[in-house]
Each structure stands twice: as structure tokens, then as C-alpha cells.
């Protein structure tokens, strides 16, 4: 099948690679423009562009899609299908209607739950027990198209958004290949989404990583897991921002929420709002590296007994 691929971040790379391995003719790749990154704000190409260039696939990075801007390229390549994985732009109707088999999207949630930009992070932040991927026929709405395939996977109790992201990228790639086979065979089934069950997963902000210690230990752990590896969970002590990378549920406690109960080789134990603690196993203070709490406090003043905001 002649496939035009549209994708941008590393989540989309396994799908591109899977299409190539499956023998599809990936005729061209569309990706977002290079973006400045790092302290030097150097322009860096998106992950999909890098992968496509390694396979000598033509790459286009349009800044405009409306008003038939891409029609000349569509006419040049004449794709049978357009595969879209985390491209990051809403596609206008002329693109959606162009290919014979339509535009097929891979989305990292069990639709109609978590439509939008950050479905994987919110599944972890909200403490969901399962997640998955859906392939769907794209329409003019935001992740509202008819579902073709739906694959579920459990979310591990201590799994981070980053590890779930990696797993779903592989599941999504496998499902995309399966879906294109169904399209070719004429056996793809369309299942409409139930709008009554629809939820929206907005993009995260840095504030979403702020820990509220009055929450339960499980909810606090969910914030830490769901914020890894961005925006990273944090708490504040005396106007000092402390990033928290990893933690797990601890013990019962009668201490007030946010109190640092213990610091030892196991980690830093902090009380939460439900009479339980969490055990912080990796943190970072300003102008310091990420490290275990016990290692950090060997060379710095202890905060044992302090109340974290």
C-alpha cells in the first residue's frame, strides 16, 4: 500500500518503522518544523524527520495546511492512505478526503476517553488501571472519528507516564500495521464513539506537577508517576523548589500532611492526607544532580521534621 506518513515526536517513530518493515511504500513523510531546544536554543529536527531521512524518505515540514496548501504534494504522491501518528495539527477536509482508504490515526488512549494532546499522562495522573491505543478514521473533529481497532493494556502500579508512552508507541505501531491490512482486505469495521463517554486530555503545564500533600498517598504517587518525565513533580520548602522523580507508597502515619517523617537509606518518607506516607527515592534540589535523598543530605542540612508545601 502506498502510504503518506504524518508524525512528529518519538512516539510516532515505531509506527513509521513498522510500516517500512511490513513492506508498505512510505512515499513521503510530513512532520512539524524543526524547533529550538536546549540552553543554546539550537534548531533540532523532530524524531520522525530523523528516522525518515535514515530511510531516504522525502520529508516535508509545512507551516500551513489550509487553503489546499498541500494539494500539489498529494497530487504528486497520490497515496492510498495517510497514516497519522502524533502529528500535532488538525487536518483540513481536503486532506482527510484525499486518499482512497482515508486518513488513519493512531491515538494513545481507549477512545472516547482522553481525546486530545496528553492522553497517556492523564491516564497515569488519574490512577487508571488500564490504557491502550485506538486506530480510527479521522474526521474534522478532535479524535472523534470512527474506531477501527482498540487494544487494551494494564497500567502497572508503579509505571510512569514515560514507560507507558514507550509501551503504547510499540502497541500503536503493531496496531497500525494490522489496521492497514484490514483496510486492504476490505474487512475493517467502523465503530462510532459514544459521545456520552468522551473526555478531553489537555496538554500538561508545569503546575500540573505540583504536589498537594493533603491528597492520599496513592494520588501523590500518581502525580509523580504521571509527571515523569515532564513536567516532573515538585514540592516547595522555604521557597526552594524540590523536584521529585520517583516514589512509592510507604507506611501508616499520624503526622500532618507534608511532614518529612524520616530520611534514611530507603529514601525520604513524607506524610500524606490519608494517614499514610510515600517514600521518595529520587529527588533534585536546585543546583544539584538527581540523587537518592540519603545521598543528598549527607552533604546538606537535613529537612527532617519540616513541612513541605
| Distance in angstroms (rounded) separating the CA atoms of residues 65 and 148 | 26
Give every CB contact of residue 243 below 8 A, 6+ residues apart in sequence. Answer: 232, 233, 234, 283, 284, 290
Report pLDDT digits (tens) over 221-279. Answer: 999 999 999 999 999 999 999 999 999 999 999 999 999 999 999 999 999 999 999 99
3-class secondary structure per residue, 272-302: CCCCEEEEEEEEECCCCCCECHHHHHCCCCC
Please report the sign of the dihedral spanned by the C-alpha atoms of residue 163, residue 144, residue 175, residue 24.
Answer: negative
Chosen CATH of 206-297 out of 3.30.470.10, 3.10.25.10, 3.30.413.10, 3.40.50.720:
3.10.25.10
Q: Reduced to 3 states, what is the DSSP secondary structure of residue 93?
A: helix
Give me the residue spans of the domains in the chain: 2-201, 206-297
The secondary structure of residue 142, as a DSSP letter, is S
Report pLDDT digits (tens) over 151-191. Answer: 999 999 999 999 999 999 999 999 999 999 999 999 999 99
Report pLDDT digits (tens) over 199-220. Answer: 999 999 999 999 999 999 999 9
Q: Reduced to 3 states, what is the DSSP secondary structure of residue 92?
A: coil
| Distance in angstroms (rounded) separating the CA atoms of residues 127 and 235 | 20
Q: How is domain 2-201 classified at the architecture level of CATH?
A: 3-Layer(aba) Sandwich (3.40)
Amino acid at each position: 500500500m502506498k502510504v503518506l506518513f504524518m508524525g512528529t515526536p518519538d512516539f510516532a517513530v515505531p509506527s513509521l518503522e513498522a510500516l517500512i518493515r511490513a513492506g508498505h511504500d512510505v512515499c513521503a513523510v510530513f512532520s512539524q518544523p524543526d524547533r529550538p531546544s536546549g540552553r543554546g536554543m539550537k534548531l533540532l529536527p523532530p524524531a520522525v524527520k530523523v528516522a525518515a531521512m535514515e530511510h531516504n524518505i522525502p520529508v516535508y515540514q509545512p507551516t500551513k495546511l489550509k487553503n489546499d496548501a498541500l494539494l500539489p504534494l498529494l497530487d504528486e504522491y497520490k497515496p492510498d492512505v495517510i497514516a497519522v501518528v502524533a502529528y500535532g495539527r488538525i487536518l483540513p477536509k481536503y486532506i482527510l478526503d484525499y486518499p482512497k482508504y482515508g486518513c488513519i490515526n493512531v491515538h494513545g488512549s481507549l477512545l472516547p476517553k482522553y481525546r486530545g494532546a496528553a492522553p497517556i499522562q492523564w491516564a497515569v495522573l488519574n490512577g487508571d488501571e488500564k490504557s491502550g491505543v485506538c486506530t480510527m478514521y479521522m474526521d474534522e473533529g478532535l479524535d472523534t472519528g470512527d474506531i477501527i481497532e482498540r487494544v487494551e493494556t494494564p497500567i502497572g502500579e508503579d509505571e510512569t507516564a514515560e514507560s507507558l508512552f514507550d509501551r503504547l508507541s510499540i502497541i500503536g505501531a503493531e496496531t497500525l500495521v494490522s489496521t492497514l491490512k484490514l483496510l486492504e482486505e476490505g474487512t475493517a469495521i467502523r465503530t462510532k464513539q459514544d459521545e456520552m463517554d468522551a473526555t478531553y486530555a489537555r496538554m500538561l503545564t508545569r503546575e500540573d506537577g505540583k504536589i498537594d500533600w493533603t491528597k492520599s498517598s496513592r494520588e501523590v504517587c500518581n502525580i509523580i508517576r504521571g509527571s515523569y518525565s515532564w513536567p516532573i513533580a515538585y514540592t516547595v520548602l522555604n521557597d526552594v523548589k524540590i523536584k521529585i522523580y520517583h516514589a512509592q507508597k510507604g507506611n501508616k502515619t499520624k503526622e500532618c500532611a507534608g511532614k518529612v517523617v524520616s530520611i534514611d537509606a530507603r529514601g525520604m518518607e513524607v506524610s500524606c492526607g490519608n494517614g499514610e506516607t510515600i517514600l521518595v527515592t529520587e529527588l533534585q534540589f536546585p543546583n544539584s544532580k538527581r540523587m537518592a535523598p540519603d545521598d543528598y543530605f549527607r552533604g546538606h542540612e537535613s529537612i527532617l521534621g519540616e513541612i513541605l508545601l
